[in-house]
Amino acid sequence: MSTSSMAFQLGSSSSLSISSSSIRRSTHDVFLSFRGADVRQSFISHLYGALHKRGINTYIDNNLKRGEEILSELLKAIDGSMISIIVLFKNYSDSKWCLDELLKILECKKMVKQIVLPIFYDVDPLDVQHQKGCYFILDIITWVDSIMVNRTFLNIAKYLVRIESRLRDIYQHLSLEKNDITCMVGIFGTGGIGKTTISKEIYNRIFRQFEGSCFLKNIIESSKAGGLIQLQNTLLYEILGENLDVRDCDRGINVISHRLHSKRVLLILDDVDELKQLETLAGDHKWFGLGSRIIVTTRDQDLLDIFKVDSKYELKILAYNEARKLFSLHAFEKEEPIDNYAKVFEQVMQYAKGLPLTLTVLGSNLKDKKICQWESAFDKYKQIPNENILSVLQVSYDGLEEHEKDMFLDIACFFKGEPLDDVIKIFESCHFHPNCGIPKLIDKCLITTGFNIWMHDLLQDMGREIVRKESPKKPGTCSRLWFHEDIRYVLEENTVSS
């Protein structure tokens, strides 16, 4: 059937303004507003059935008898829905009941920016009688599906500690109250410190304030697996709700800047490590409409400076009490540790040193285990660190150049805690160019410097594990030796490689 013969029309796109200043979770996905038994038995029954079949939680009044109590229930249902579909049929406006519903829907559209779809319905009776076609219900379902997918909350960590204070700090950088600017904010910190978790929580709390939103996670790995073209397509699909099938990065840049330059969007680029990724996905403020917010998470703060973000926020390790709470929640499902675990619990605290990833992984692994199992596992971790933790931390190391990797491994094996000036002299004698390399290690959040050079214990463990894996059973063939028993063995047995 041609477009000109459609029996109803979708409302104009201007009615689909999507925004929300709250994080309220929806009780229903869709609220159906309509009038008339004929509409209920024909179009509405088909529409409701199709929505239900797709797993879309839809509220319908089911011929409730009118009354103040029922009206109150309906108004609550409207308030708790993500989308309202208004089927405007003959005599709709004659009903005070329907007008009350409509006023509430418009109030929700204004206050919490509920998504509203008006449908002007006038199906030919013969189409209904003979059940011709699908009454164009597929168009509505497709639209609702795209909204539901793009308006769904992101799954987030089970336990959140110190989240509110961090959010308050980041909100100051985002300046959400300013709609006349487009703002780019960078969140940086070492691997496993919680950048993805905090950015997901920010997304969940504010994404409904924008006309479109997209969270591109783990860009380091995603750009290797599917390439930047796939990321561009994902970005466009999530924000626009249509598949544009971009097949070239340069064209993708032009499509993004052309299609999004007038839209107020929220875009989060998670775990970025190369300038090209930023240039390809969010190359300029002018690509996005006023009021847009672009958030970049990375382990490399120098990348944020080169890209010239408007503001930066450093995510730091948890304080002792916060770390204690997070680990206890994972290990014991309560905020305080069990008394007889106190000794081994403190050993874990010293080992993790406030890194959320470590606290989460170890807490989950040790949950419901006996004290002797804790002690055995912890002894193992001190010798061979947990692979799940190391794999996250090592991403930063993998992005270094060869001489930067050498400096990092030397610091991990020998120079942690040593005077910075002395370490620089040693590196200069090895032609490592420390005046360039050490700032790079700092920017990658792998070391910190003052009078001495320092790194997190787990980053030190990661560096030493990289060296150990060079030759696990023959330490004499490893590039570095630091463990006294390995050194003694190699010297006594004369097994040093040439």
Q: At what angle do helices 137-150 and 45-53 cross, to 10 degrees?
A: 40
Both structure tokens of 118: 């008006």
Q: Which residues is 296 bridged to in the sheet?
A: 186, 269
Reduce the DSSP state of residue 271 to 3 states and report it: strand
**What is the rounded CA–CA span in Å between residue 416 and residue 204?**
40
Catalytic residue flag (residue 101): yes
Active-site residue identified among 101, 201, 238, 404: 101
In 133-284, DSSP assigns E strands to: 183-188, 212-216, 265-272
Helical spans, DSSP H, in 314-355: 320-332, 342-352
CB neighbours of residue 484 within 10 Å? 8
**Among 51, 26, 174, which Cα is nearest to 112's?**
26
CB neighbours of residue 340 within 10 Å? 9
CB neighbours of residue 259 within 10 Å? 16
**What is the rounded CA–CA span in Å between residue 18 and residue 211?**
5
CA distances from 303 to 271, 273, 316, 434 (A): 12, 7, 18, 19
What is the set of active-site residues? 101
